[in-house]
Amino acid sequence: MEPKYFFTILFLTTFLSFQLSFSSSTPSAQQNKYSTFIKSSCNSTTYPSQCVKYLLPYASAVKTNPLSLVKVALHTTLRSANATLYTVTQLYKTKSITKWEAAVLKDCIEDIKDTMDELKSSIKEISSIPKSKDKHFAISNAQTWTSAAITDENSCLDGFSDRKVNQAIKQKIRNSIVNLARPIC
Ligand SMILES: *[C@@H]1O[C@H](CO)[C@@H](O)[C@H](O)[C@H]1NC(C)=O
Ligand SMILES: *[C@@H]1O[C@H](CO)[C@@H](O)[C@H](O)[C@H]1NC(C)=O
Indicate if ligand 2 lies below 6 Å from the C-beta of 87.
no
Atom index in ligand 2 nearest the CA of residue 86 equals 5
Tens digits of residue pLDDT in 131-183: 989 888 888 888 888 888 878 877 877 776 666 667 777 776 666 655 554 44
Pairwise CA distance, residues 63 & 80, whole Å: 23
Which superfamily, per CATH, for 3-184? Invertase/pectin methylesterase inhibitor family protein (1.20.140.40)
- Structural domain boundaries of the chain? 3-184
Nearest CA to ligand 1 atom 7: 43
Nearest ligand, CA 85: 2
Give yes or no for a contact between 83 and 164, defined as CB atoms under 8 angstroms apart. Answer: no
Tens digits of residue pLDDT in 94-140: 888 888 888 888 998 999 999 999 999 999 998 998 898 988 888 88
Ligand 1: distance of its center to the CA of 40 in Å? 7
Give yes or no for a contact between 67 and 126, defined as CB atoms under 8 angstroms apart. Answer: yes
Give yes or no for a contact between 56 and 73, defined as CB atoms under 8 angstroms apart. Answer: no
Nearest ligand, CA 51: 1
Most informative mutation of 82, 119, 180 for ligand 2 (most atoms within 8 A of CB) = 82
Atom index in ligand 1 nearest the CA of residue 40 equals 14
What pLDDT is attached to residue 48?
Answer: 81
Indicate if ligand 1 lies below 6 Å from the C-beta of 49.
no
Indicate if ligand 1 lies below 6 Å from the C-beta of 44.
no
Give yes or no for a contact between 138 and 122, defined as CB atoms under 8 angstroms apart. Answer: no
Ligand 2: distance of its center to the CA of 75 in Å? 12
pTM score, whole prediction: 0.75
Tens digits of residue pLDDT in 42-59: 887 777 887 888 889 999
Range list of H helices, 23-166: 31-42, 48-55, 59-62, 66-92, 99-128, 135-158
What pLDDT is attached to residue 173?
Answer: 66
Give yes or no for a contact between 92 and 62, defined as CB atoms under 8 angstroms apart. Answer: no
